[in-house]
Amino acid sequence: MRHLFRFEHDPMTHDEQAFFKAIGARIAELRKDSAITQVQLAATVGVSQQTVASWEAGRRGVPVSLLPALARALGTGVDTLVGQTSQPAKRGPTPKLLQQVERLSQLPKAKQRMVMEILDGVLNHGAR
């Protein structure tokens, strides 16, 4: 009976290799569609750029514990990453927008208010 969990030193079966190649291809496609680099994605999920490159090439399996963070960073669901949906998942804000919101939240409160006033003005003007 095969083990439920695969350890880093265990060789991948042919099915596991195909599965991780498919996940890697989806990661690469979603990352490129979102206009983010491997370096940016790596920083967001807390791994090296080389690790992201290995995932995308299917040379390494993506740890299950990183799938939720990876899905959030790519604006999709875990089910889409693992290929379990027949229709595209509803995407949320783009990773670039999320990064900008994160940067905004790190500004001093006075600057945050100034940016929010500018955004409100632009959005209210566009609604007319």
Q: What is the pLDDT of residues 32-72, one digit of tens each?
A: 988 899 999 999 999 999 999 999 998 888 998 999 999 99
Identity of residue 41 = L
Looking at the structure, tell me whether residues 76 and 41 fall in a common domain.
yes
Looking at the structure, tell me whether residues 9 and 36 fall in a common domain.
yes
- pLDDT class of 101 with cuts at 50, 70, 90: confident
Are the C-beta atoms of 122 and 62 separated by less than 8 Å? no
Are the C-beta atoms of 65 and 46 separated by less than 8 Å? no
Residue 96 pLDDT > 90, yes or no?
no
Looking at the structure, tell me whether residues 87 and 103 fall in a common domain.
no
- What is the Cα–Cα distance from 32 to 112, expressed in whole angstroms? 30
Structural domain including 73 reads 1-92
The pTM for the full model equals 0.59
- What is the Cα–Cα distance from 78 to 66, expressed in whole angstroms? 10
Number of domains in the chain: 2
Residue 5 pLDDT > 90, yes or no?
no
